Amino acid sequence: MDSLPMLHPEASIERLDFLNTRERKALLAAELRRVGDLLRIVPRRYEDRRNAGRPLSSLANGESACLQLFIYHASWRFSYTRFYELEAGAPNDPGGARILLRWYNMPYIAKLIVSGMQLSVYGKVRVVSGKWVMSNPDFEVLEDEDTGYRLASQALGEPYSPSSPAPEPSTAERIHTGRIVPIYPGINGLSVRSFRAIIWRLLSRLAPNSTWEDFDPAPSYPMSSVMRDLHFPSSEEVARKARLRLALSECFSRQFRVAWLRLRAHSHRGLITATSDFYCRELLDSLPFRLTPAQQRCIDEIRKDMASPSAMNRLLQGDVGSGKTLVALCAMLMCVESGMTAALLAPTQILAEQHFRNFSRLLAHTDVRLSLRTSNRADDSHLAADEAGIAADPTPRIIVGTHALLYEKNRPQNLGLAVIDEQHKFGVAQRERFIQSGTNPDVLVMTATPIPRTLTLTLYGDLDVSIIDELPPGRGSIVTALRNPKHIKRIVSFLKTEISNGHRVYVVSPLIEQSSTSERSAAIQEVERWRELLPDCCVGLLHGKMSAEEKDEAMTDFAAGRTQLLVCTTVVEVGIDIPQATVMLINNAESFGLSQLHQLRGRIGRGSHKSWCILLSEAKPADPAYEKLNILCRTLNGFDIAEEDFRLRGPGDVLGTAQSGLGNVRFAEWLSDVRLIHRATRIANDILTSDPSLRSSEHEALRRRMQGEKFFSIVS
């Protein structure tokens, strides 16, 4: 250990006297400016290099092994390139076997290792011309402290001075071999070995009582100990516990923000937007069916929020086809009846127009004014088109629109309820801009993307959640089948029958255009293929690179029956209801996630006809993809599918984008650990119960972090 001043996480790397110029430049280029930045680089994996006393005769070709060896002979060799070669053996090996250690393009090794030394080496062994060979192994010199220091000096780029304190550990405390060794992500200009040595040096000088967090949720396991266990664990279990401790800190940081926003929302005075439900009851009485118990329960939960003086901030989560829009319409009617405007923000023009048509039909017997605002349409039911725009007319009404509602001339006035459909299709700034059209309006966010229970606690923890967990009666059944592409002739025959019966077909491909690096299906090529397979059928095309007008035209033609088969990409995942669409054919189904496949399947089964979802894949029963696709064949329950998707792929792949609202998750363990999430949530709630304004000096850092948080987060 260095007898030098202790380091703290906030210390600049400029204070690190053991860094050479090249290393310092590499770290700064990677934006690692403080000691804490370096120590927060999490090993991407570990290698167990502890079992070093094995005889060479026990090795297997291609195996990675850690060995303790004596160097018998060292020399330069030539083949197709020049390399430094050592002939070595295990001193106590009863068979007297030898192994050749070779270093290519590393001439400085000859200055570090000579005959007569003992080494600990780690690398992959292979048989070459009947001899054991290990190429470019990781190594450490044993027993010879002076030579060992020369090795460390060379690795760290320092001048050699025998009187200097040795930066490398003793034989009993090795860094690169003879222990569980951390393997770090690459940093340009810096080898993993060099970075590992730097981390060891930092840990040797880390102040034991360093402050790392705004608030320590587990003071019994101090962060200085956590960092040592994370980077140089004595066992796999120690590494696991260190990661869980860091996962708790990360989860607490997220859950405290959630608890803070929830507290602010509940304490902030909003609008009372449900004073009567006459319009709502009138609508429900006019329907030819009854609401499901789940729909009625959600309406009751929303009505209670809207009747409260606190602003509503609620998520309405339901499977595809569960009737979320009808529940939202009931909420909007209650808002209109209270004398305020309700607005629904839809992600596409065609979906906004569908909502407008459906609402107009359902409200035809009422005097409720209904308006549509998109980039190229401005329609009003019951009244002539409003040339002056919405801003000039404060009359209570229901407004349905797209991004056009975000612009000043179309922004709703007297907004009491903001409804956001398919909220993940909008950016955070867009959602907040829409909400801020009113003065603390009630907010209802809708999503048809089922997510696992643990993620609901984190993604939507600052929202009250209403779940529609059953489908309305009268829907046609959906059969999901897994088929091999070689059965295409039988599939084409089946599609001809469906189309001749007046039904329509989706064909989904994972790519827009064919790629030289992928053999997966592409929509542009699929169009020509299906026009050849079904020459009497009108085949359309829909993909993400088309303009908004082209997309709307493609969907309109398909809905009207002018197109019978629509080749598309996942852009159709959020689309309009087409009761005549009864077949969804998905190419390369194994390349999609389970939840996305379920979303695509939700485009069919919208009418009373029986529907079929055909998953085309060459996956074999032994493949993980085969298990995944069979889950979809067994169930239509989106929440069960979301749990399975989470189990199979893990949180990183399920969340995927920044729109998840979780940002950069470094310790994904907590996303699937309900107990850890509840523990973090309990700690956060206890703090805010005892100190809701964070006035205590103990919570000063938390208060500074929460300053500037906006009232409406909506999964930000």
Q: How large is the average pLDDT for residues 200-225?
A: 88
Average pLDDT, the chain: 81
* Chain segment 27-62, per-residue pLDDT in tens: 999 999 999 999 999 998 898 888 777 788 788 898
Q: Per-residue confidence at 633, pLDDT binned at 50, 70, 90? A: very high
Locate 677 and state its tokens: 């999430």
Locate 513 and state its tokens: 């255009």
The confidence score (pLDDT) of residue 438 equals 57
Q: Per-residue confidence at 588, pLDDT binned at 50, 70, 90? A: very high
Find the farthest-apart pair of alpha carbons in the chain and give their distance in angstroms, rounded.
Answer: 99
Poorest-confidence range of 141-155, 343-357, 527-541?
A: 141-155
Report the distance separating Cα 378 and Cα 631, nearest Å: 44
The confidence score (pLDDT) of residue 4 equals 65
pLDDT more than 70, % of the chain:
82
Q: Per-residue confidence at 318, pLDDT binned at 50, 70, 90? A: confident
Contacts of 34 by beta carbon, 8 Å cutoff, 6+ apart: 9, 10, 11, 12, 13
The confidence score (pLDDT) of residue 408 equals 63
Q: How large is the average pLDDT for residues 551-576?
A: 87
552 exposure class (CB count in 10 Å sphere: 0-12, 13-18, 19+): buried
Poorest-confidence range of 310-319, 376-385, 437-446, 621-630?
A: 376-385
Q: How large is the average pLDDT for residues 560-582?
A: 87
* Chain segment 171-191, per-residue pLDDT in tens: 346 788 888 989 898 888 888
Q: How large is the average pLDDT for residues 1-29?
A: 84
Closest CA to 554 of 569, 542, 546, 570: 542
Locate 148 and state its tokens: 């060992």
Is residue 528 classed as helix, strand or coil in its secondary structure?
Answer: helix
Q: Assess contact for 274 and 334: CB atoms under 8 A.
A: yes
The confidence score (pLDDT) of residue 661 equals 46
The confidence score (pLDDT) of residue 436 equals 62
The confidence score (pLDDT) of residue 552 equals 82
Locate 323 and state its tokens: 């009737």
* Chain segment 508-547, per-residue pLDDT in tens: 998 888 776 667 888 899 999 999 999 999 999 998 888 8
Closest CA to 596 of 657, 540, 658: 657
Closest CA to 344 of 282, 276, 393, 405: 405
Locate 492 and state its tokens: 């084409």
* Chain segment 81-123, per-residue pLDDT in tens: 788 889 888 877 777 788 999 999 888 888 888 888 888 888 9
pLDDT of residue 585 exceeding 60: yes
Q: Assess contact for 184 and 195: CB atoms under 8 A.
A: yes
Domains and CATH numbers, the chain: 45-183 (2.40.50.140), 278-468 (3.40.50.300), 485-617 (3.40.50.300)
